[in-house]
Amino acid sequence: MSRQAAPQSQTLSPPTQQAHTRYRRMNRVVIPWLFILPILMIHIFVVAIPALTGLYYSLTDWSGIGAANFIGLENFRKLFFEDQAFGQALTNNITWMIFFLTVPFSLALLASSLLSRVKRGGMFYRTILFIPYLLPSVVTATIWRNLLSPRMGVGAQLARIGIPGLDVAYLGRTDTALLSIAFADNWHYWGFLMVLFLTAMQSISPELYDAAKIDGANRWHEFRYVTLPGIRPVVLFMLMMTAIWSFLVFEYIWILTQGGPAGSSEVLGTLVYKNAFNRFEAGYGAAQGITISLFAGAIILIFVTLRRRGWDI
């Protein structure tokens, strides 16, 4: 009986083995960095360097022109302990955040739940509700300025036919300006949330709804115990993003009221713009911008903490 020889392991010579090791290291380390290098350089020049520059100018008394005078944390001391306009703007931002964490989410969840049951014509309704999100902010704000006008808006037209009480300058009153702008902004925003939630609902297995029906669940029970858990990651992520965007709001308020009347609709974004470009207090505006970033970072930290504790975000 012939005996088959055992295969001998091939060993590489030291120079060949070193070249092979260098080739593998290049494939694993160097080449991936070469691919990401263009994006990394763009990020450094567009994000990192301006952020560090803004942090430096927040510690200076700079008008935006000429040399900057280093003053340390004086801008932040003035910001938190003396500037009443900053406190009012922060309060308005929190009010704005509460509004957008409740009203558009409720509308989007209700509409997406109803549309998820529509078999024919559903795409038409989704398109109609999503179109406002595609319109430019200037166009949308101009439309709502005319609709809310006390002379030619909806309220004025109703007053002409004998239905008084709605011909009010909503954008000109301190008690209605902010919520009126939020209402106009919500008109274009909630359709975006609706499309996201509807897409997430369609990924839920129909077998779960069939099992719920067998157990005697009604529509509310299906929504509470099947739909909401199925779309919870999307809802929580959009809650985080909406809370962050609430501190970055600018365009609708600037177009409609520029923070007026009497600062009733002033938010941090418009306040930073006024200080940096209208009052030539660029250093102080930079300090306010850094503060906005800190608020956004705090929101992200809350969600990261919840994720580490087991939340499905």
User: Residue ranges of the domains in the chain?
Assistant: 18-57, 78-308
The type of residue at 188 is: H
Predicted pLDDT at 12: 53
SS3 136: coil
Could you please report the per-residue DSSP string of 250-286?
-HHHHHHTTT-STTTT--HHHHHHIIIIIS--HHHHH
| C-alpha neighbours within 13 Å on the C-beta side of residue 10 | 3
C-alpha to C-alpha distance for 215 and 18, rounded to whole angstroms = 66
Please list the ranges in the chain whose pLDDT falls under 70.
1-15, 17, 19-20, 312-313
**C-beta of residue 182 within 8 angstroms of C-beta of residue 101:** no
Predicted pLDDT at 287: 94
Could you tell me the fold of the domain covering 78-308? Answer: MetI-like fold (1.10.3720)
Predicted pLDDT at 6: 45
Q: Is 133 left (phi over 0), alpha (psi -120 to 50) or beta?
A: alpha
* Angle between the N-to-C axes of helices 177-202 and 122-134, in degrees from 0 to 180, rounded to the nearest 10: 140
Predicted pLDDT at 20: 66
The type of residue at 132 is: P
E strands present in the chain? 60-61, 69-70
Predicted pLDDT at 213: 87
Predicted pLDDT at 1: 43
Averaged confidence pLDDT in the chain: 88
Could you count the other beta carbons within 10 Å of the beta carbon of residue 45?
A: 10
Predicted pLDDT at 11: 58
Predicted pLDDT at 118: 80
This prediction's pTM? 0.85
Beta bridge partners of 70: 60
| Cα–Cα distances in angstroms (integers) from residue 270 to residues 7, 99, 160, 308, in the given order | 76, 19, 36, 35
**C-beta of residue 299 within 8 angstroms of C-beta of residue 243:** yes
Longest dimension (CA), the chain: 113
